């Protein structure tokens, strides 16, 4: 960390540019609320834009000079190459841009989280020291290939466990953690969870860099297909074998374990029962979101990896390669023509017609696996029957209106004796419904069962009385129904149950 390195880093780091920005508190507060407070990885443009507008309105009450430009300008600026605080991209199956925090913004948010945490007067020194000692101890033992070293450590752990078992069996007091240590270790775990979220961005960004490098070389014709493919495969292998990649893929295998997921969910439920953590609401909320967040983050990274694989498959396809080269040539011609016409642009209306009827999907694409929902078993063996509630339910059931299909069919038969047709509205005007909407549903059922004319493209509004005394009315929109003459009642084609 010499002076030259620091000067270069301060000039080029997007994270430091964010901290130095004049509106940094407002930008960071907004992004933290939208992405971190709600545990969201990606947000579509249709949601983030109005959210920023509402945030600006709230700011005007206390800070009238903050974020005065339009919300669209700020979102575009935060995604620009000069800022790189937000990543804006298009996702398959969506017709609008999607936003995601960049690793630089994640670093700033995590730095401020830790700084504010320390400023608030709570630093878990004991828990951190214990973690450091335990980690170093495991490192020394794990790095050794000598079996006696592992056996000695396992025997020590066994002796400690057996001693604890004997104390509990003798009825001695169980040595529970001090409340301070409970809160320390919990805050340490939450801090490490926030750092883990930042690490995902770095792995995902590395896959994106490889994909973009392959696409640029392919479009510009900088190298042969074999050279591009070899460079991409080497880069991907390097990512999988370096410390960051190895750690991520080990995490990926761990989080895919159904047993591990069940164990984490059980631990999260038990944390909520610890009295000393009752006031740690933000931390508990972060822990509750841990499982879906980690699964979503892992799925996001694997989706980026699949895009790289798809790019490499297209590169291997000779026909696709030729088409890509032709597209690149056309784009160069378009850029040349646009540059030539820049000083004298066409005054007529310029338009483009795009045929979007064809959609391409990979037959091998798949979604990230998630464990099926499990329903909680509730023991009802000691459930006491509420007699009053049962009687009340029976009384409510007795008040339900009965649909008299026979009388309704007779009404339709009388209205169509002349051989003509009658609409549902005319039928209800002649014989007002006694049961409100229930009668309308009955007529709809009869029209369907008995083959009357139903036109769904021409809706009709019918007015029916509502309420016990008929003092109110309802306007219901139904398909246009024309009842036509049928065979006499009792000979109808459909004998609907009464």
For 149-174, write each residue's pLDDT tens digit: 889 888 988 998 898 888 888 888 87
The mean per-residue pLDDT over the stretch 291-300 comes to 73
Radius of gyration of the chain (CA): 34
* Residue 194: exposure state from Cβ atoms within 10 A (0-12, 13-18, ≥19): middle
d(CA 268, CA 277): 12
* Residues in CB range of 210: below 8 A, 6 or more apart: 232, 235, 236, 239, 308
Q: DSSP characters for 177-195?
A: PPHHHHHHHHHHHHHHHHH
**3 state SS of 374:** coil
Report pLDDT digits (tens) over 254-271: 767 777 778 888 888 888
Of the ranges 143-147, 430-434, 487-491, which is most confident? 143-147
| Confidence at 24, pLDDT banded by 50, 70, 90 | very high
Averaged pLDDT, 196-224: 65
* pLDDT tens, position by position, 318-360: 555 567 777 888 888 888 888 887 777 776 666 666 666 656 5
Query: Which H or E run includes 405?
Result: helix 405-415
- Whether this prediction's pTM lies above 0.75 is answered by no
pLDDT at residue number 412: 86
Contact in structure between 261 and 291 (CB atoms under 8 Å): yes
Which pLDDT score, from 0 to 100, does residue 496 have? 43
* Cα(483)–Cα(243) distance, integer angstroms: 76
Backbone torsions φ then ψ of 286, nearest 5 degrees: -65, -40
62, 67, 271, 477 from 74: Cα distances, Å: 20, 8, 40, 45
pLDDT band for position 368 (cuts 50, 70, 90): low
Stretch(es) of the chain classified as CATH 1.10.10: 3-119
pLDDT tens, 403-448? 788 888 888 888 887 766 888 888 888 877 777 778 888 888 888 8
**Angle (deg, nearest 10), helices 258-271 and 281-288:** 160
Across the beta sheet with 422-423, what order do the strands follow? Answer: 422-423, 472-483, 453-466
Question: Tokens 């770095």 sit at which residue?
Answer: 202
Task: Specify the CATH number of the domain 3-119.
Answer: 1.10.10
Q: pLDDT tens across 174-205, in order?
A: 777 788 778 877 877 877 777 776 666 666 67
**Predicted pLDDT at 103:** 85
Between CA 187 and CA 416 the distance in angstroms is 78
Residue 491 has pLDDT above 50, yes or no: no
Q: How far apart are CA 103 and CA 84, in angstroms?
A: 9
pLDDT at 234 over 70: no
Residue 404 DSSP class: -
Most confident of 33-42, 62-71, 377-386: 62-71
How far apart are alpha carbons 190 and 122 in whole angstroms? 13
- How many Å apart are CA 359 and CA 365, to the nearest integer? 14
Tally of CB atoms within 10 A around 232: 21
Cβ count within 10 A of residue 37 = 13
Q: What is the mean pLDDT of residues 385-408?
A: 78
| Range among 92-106, 288-302, 417-431 with highest mean pLDDT value | 92-106
What is the structure's pLDDT at 380?
62
pLDDT of residue 214: 61
Residue 498: what pLDDT? Answer: 41
- pLDDT for the residue 427: 84
State yes or no: pLDDT of 143 exceeds 70.
yes
Per-residue pLDDT, averaged over 137-146, amounts to 79
Question: 434: Cβ–Cβ under 8 A, 6 or more apart, which residues?
Answer: 401
Mean residue pLDDT across the chain:
76
**128, pLDDT greater than 60:** yes
Choose the weakest-confidence range: 64-78, 185-199, 358-372, 456-470.
358-372
Q: To the nearest whole percent, how much of the chain has pLDDT over 70?
A: 69
Cβ distance 439 to 464 under 8 Å? yes
Per-residue pLDDT for 490 more than 60? no
Tokens 């400023």 belong to residue: 119
Structure confidence at residue 228 (pLDDT): 62
């Amino acid at each position: 960390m010499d002076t030259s390195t620091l000067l270069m880093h301060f000039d080029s780091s997007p994270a430091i540019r964010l901290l130095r920005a004049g509106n940094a508190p407002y930008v960071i507060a907004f992004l933290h609320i939208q992405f971190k407070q709600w545990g969201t990885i990606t947000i579509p443009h249709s949601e983030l834009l109005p959210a920023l507008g509402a945030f600006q309105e709230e700011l005007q009450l206390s800070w009238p000079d903050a974020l005065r430009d339009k919300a669209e300008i700020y979102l575009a600026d935060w995604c620009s190459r000069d800022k790189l605080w937000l990543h804006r991209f298009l996702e398959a199956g969506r017709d609008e841009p999607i936003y995601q925090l960049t690793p630089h913004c994640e670093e700033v948010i995590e730095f401020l989280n830790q700084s504010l945490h320390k400023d608030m007067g709570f630093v878990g020194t004991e828990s951190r020291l214990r973690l450091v000692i335990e980690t170093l101890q495991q490192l020394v033992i794990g790095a050794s290939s000598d079996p006696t070293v592992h056996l000695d450590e396992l025997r020590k752990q066994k002796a400690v466990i057996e001693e604890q078992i004997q104390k509990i069996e003798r009825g001695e007091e169980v040595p529970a953690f001090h409340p301070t240590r409970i809160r320390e270790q919990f805050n340490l775990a939450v801090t490490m969870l926030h750092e883990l979220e930042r690490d995902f961005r770095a792995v995902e960004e590395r896959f994106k860099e490889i994909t973009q490098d392959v696409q640029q070389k392919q479009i510009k014709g900088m190298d042969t297909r074999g050279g591009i493919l070899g460079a991409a495969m080497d880069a991907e292998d390097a990512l999988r074998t370096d410390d960051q990649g190895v750690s991520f893929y080990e995490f990926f295998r761990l989080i895919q374990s159904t047993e591990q997921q069940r164990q984490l969910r059980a631990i999260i439920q038990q944390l909520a029962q610890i009295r000393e953590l009752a006031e740690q609401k933000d931390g508990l909320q972060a822990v509750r979101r841990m499982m879906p967040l980690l699964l979503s983050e892992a799925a996001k990274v694997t989706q980026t990896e699949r895009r790289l694989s798809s790019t490499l498959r297209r590169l291997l396809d000779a026909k696709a390669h030729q088409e890509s080269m032709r597209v690149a040539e056309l784009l160069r011609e378009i850029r040349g023509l646009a540059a030539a016409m820049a000083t004298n642009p066409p005054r007529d209306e310029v338009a483009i017609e795009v045929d979007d009827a064809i959609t391409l999907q990979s037959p091998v694409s798949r979604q990230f696996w998630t464990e099926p929902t499990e329903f909680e078993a509730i023991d009802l063996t000691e459930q006491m029957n509420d007699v009053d509630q049962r009687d009340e339910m029976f009384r409510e059931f007795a008040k339900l209106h009965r649909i008299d299909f026979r009388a309704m069919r007779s009404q339709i038969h009388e209205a169509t004796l002349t051989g003509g047709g009658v609409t549902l509205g005319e039928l209800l005007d002649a014989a007002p419904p006694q049961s409100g909407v229930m009668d309308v549903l009955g007529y709809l059922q009869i029209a369907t069962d008995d083959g009357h004319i139903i036109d769904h493209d021409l809706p009709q509004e019918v007015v029916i009385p509502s309420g016990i005394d008929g003092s109110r009315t309802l306007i219901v929109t139904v398909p246009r129904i024309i009842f036509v003459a049928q065979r006499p009642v009792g000979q109808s084609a459909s004998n609907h149950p009464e």
